[in-house]
């Protein structure tokens, strides 16, 4: 079976969405338990770091970078 390409999308004013077969490790190399897709915090205010918990909406986080 062909493996689906992993994608990482920077959402406007929100999280970093990761979809596909990937392993997420902490600073000591221990793996997080993740599913086939997950969102990482970009605003720095999540109560569930490194994962997004939606806090960016409550604090009015704004960032919409574009590839050049």
Does residue 24 belong to any structural domain of this protein? yes
Lookup: tokens for 7? 């994608």
Residue 25 lies in a domain: yes
**Domain span including residue 43:** 1-59
Q: What is the DSSP letter of 5?
A: P
Q: How far apart are CA 8 and CA 40, in angstroms?
A: 10
pLDDT of residue 40: 98
Looking at residue 4, what is its pLDDT? Answer: 78
Peptide bond into 10 cis (omega under 30): no
Tell me the whole-structure pTM to 2 decimals. 0.90
Number of structural domains found in the chain: 1
Q: What is the dihedral sign for C-alpha 8, 9, 10, 11?
A: negative
For the chain, residues with pLDDT lower than 50 are: none
Give domain status of residue 66, yes or no: no
CA angle, residues 25, 8, 16, in degrees to nearest 5: 75
pLDDT of residue 3: 66
């Amino acid at each position: 079976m062909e493996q689906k390409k992993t994608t990482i999308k920077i959402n406007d004013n929100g999280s970093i969405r990761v979809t596909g077969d990937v392993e997420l490790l902490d600073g000591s190399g221990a793996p997080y338990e993740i599913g086939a897709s997950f969102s990482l915090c970009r605003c720095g205010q999540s109560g569930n770091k490194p994962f997004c918990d939606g806090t960016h909406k409550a604090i009015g986080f704004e960032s919409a970078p574009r590839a050049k």
